[in-house]
Amino acid sequence: MSRNGRTPLPAKVFLHMGGWRQPLVMVDSIVDYKYGDNGFIKVIKHVTFNEPYLQGHFPDDPIMPGVIIAEIFGQASEYLSFLTDICDIWEQKTGAALRNLRDIESQARGEEMLEIIKARRLKVRGVLAAQNLKFKDIAWPGDTIEVMSKLAFSDSQGFKHYAVSAHVGKRIISQGTVINFREDK
């Protein structure tokens, strides 16, 4: 069980959902997700001293680079889109609705869910752009960054615009918009 009393997604399921591998996995866990028009995702990134990018940013006073925070925003937003895809596919296949992280976690250990996740990951790819990101404070080793991503809107060309924010405790360290274009391969 996790600290919030919920069973997290199994590691193999989590890794199949994302297209990233070390050293570029920037999301340590998904802590909340809601499907639908007011959908969102919350993810966690623990900043540790042994992160490879901290060795040079800055050796005597390491801080989380802004470009890495932007990457966390992008990965969180892709997880939001991906989980939404999975919920839609699951409902089409089974007739059962998955509307939040608890619903997904309840099915995550089953082979059918893992097959849906693997098949979808092989089919989708995307590109990302950051827009109006503002960096307001610093994250240091030892901090835990909580990132929230919400779909603001989808435009007529198929781009999804996400409102994103990053907090360390009650301190907001960054916010802005990321834009993602996803397509089937």
- Nearest-Å Rg of the Cα atoms of the chain is 16
pLDDT of residue 184: 75
Give pLDDT tens digits for 90-131.
999 999 999 999 999 999 989 999 999 999 999 988 888 999
Please write the tens of the pLDDT for every residue from 45-78.
999 998 988 888 888 889 999 999 999 999 999 9
Catalytic residues, which ones? 57
User: Residue 164 in contact with residue 81, Cβ under 8 Å?
Assistant: no
Q: How do 171-184 and 159-168 pair as beta strands? A: antiparallel
Q: What average pLDDT does range 158-168 have in this prediction? A: 95
